[in-house]
Chains A and B, each alone.
Chain A
Amino acid sequence: MSRLACRLRILTMCLFNRRGLNELRWRFGLQPLHSWNESPFKGGLLDKWLDSMGGKSRLLVGVFTDEDHLLEATQAVRKAGFDIHDVYTPYAVHGMDDAMGLRRSRLTWVCFFAGLFAGCFGAFMQYYTNAIDWPINVGGKNPWELHAYVPVIFEMTVLIAGLTTMVALFARSRLFPGKKAQLIVPGITDDKFAIALSHGSANFDAERARALFARFHAERVLDLGGLS
Chain B
Amino acid sequence: MSHSVESELREPLVLGDKTLHQITEDACAPLERKPNTLWWAAFFVALTCLGVGFSATAYQIATGIGTWGLNKTVGWAFDITNFVFWVGIGHAGTLISAVLFLFRQKWRTSINRSAEAMTIFAVICAAIFPLIHMGRPWLAFWTAPYPNFRGPLWVNFRSPLLWDVFAISTYFTISAVFWYIGLVPDLAAARDRAKSKIRKTIYSILSLGWNGSARVWSRYETAYMLFAGLATPLVVSVHTIVSMDFATSVIPGWHTTIFPPYFVIGAIFSGFAMVMTLLIIMRKVVNFEEYITLNHLENMAKVILVTGSIVGLAYGTEFFVAWYSGSPYEGFTFINRATGPFAWAYWIMVSCNVITPQLMWFKKLRRNVVVLFILSIFVNIGMWFERFVIVVTSLHRDYLPSSWAYYTPTLIEALTFLGTFGLFFTCFLLFCRALPMLAQGEIKGVLKTGRRKHHDAGHGHAEPRKAARVELEKEVAHV
Residues of A whose CB lies within 8 Å of any CB of B are 67-68, 71-72, 76, 79-80, 86-97, 100, 102, 104-105, 107-108, 111, 115, 125-126, 129-130, 133-134, 136, 138, 141, 145, 148-149, 151-152, 154-156, 158-159, 161-163, 165-166, 168-170, 172-184, 186-191, 208, 211-212, 215
Contact = CB atoms under 8 A, between A and B. Distances in A.
Interface stretch (B77-85, B189-197, B315-323): B189-197
A180 B1 contact: no
B122 interface: no
A168 B219 CA distance: 10
A89 B212 contact: yes
B211 A188 contact: yes
12 contacts: A79-B476, A91-B441, A96-B217, A100-B215, A108-B222, A154-B237, A158-B233, A169-B181, A173-B215, A176-B208, A186-B192, A190-B192
A145 B248 CA distance: 15
Q: Which 9 A-B pairs have the closest CB atoms?
A: A179-B209, A191-B20, A129-B154, A175-B208, A87-B214, A105-B222, A148-B158, A151-B163, A155-B166
Contacts of B166: 151-152, 155-156
A205 to B, nearest CB: 10
**Which bucket holds chain B's interface residue count?**
35 or more
Contact of A90 (B2, B205, B212, B237): B212
A134 B150 CA distance: 11
Contacts of A95: 1-2
B448 A67 contact: yes
Interface of B: 1-3, 5, 19-21, 24, 145, 151-158, 160, 162-163, 166-167, 169-170, 173-174, 177-178, 181, 184-185, 188-189, 191-193, 204-223, 226-227, 230-231, 233-234, 237, 241, 244, 440-442, 444-445, 448, 472, 475-477, 479
Contacts of A105: 218-219, 222-223
A86 B162 contact: no
Contacts of B209: 174-176, 178-182
B170 A159 contact: yes
B233 A189 contact: no
Contact of A166 (B154, B177, B205, B441): B177
Contact of B216 (A154, A173, A191, A211): A173
B2 A68 contact: yes
A166 B223 contact: yes
Given A86-B214, A91-B442, A91-B445, A76 B158 contact: no
A190 B193 contact: yes
B479 A96 contact: no
Contacts of B21: 190-191
A152 B163 contact: yes
A106 to B, nearest CB: 9
A133 B189 contact: no
B208 A89 contact: no
A158 B174 contact: yes
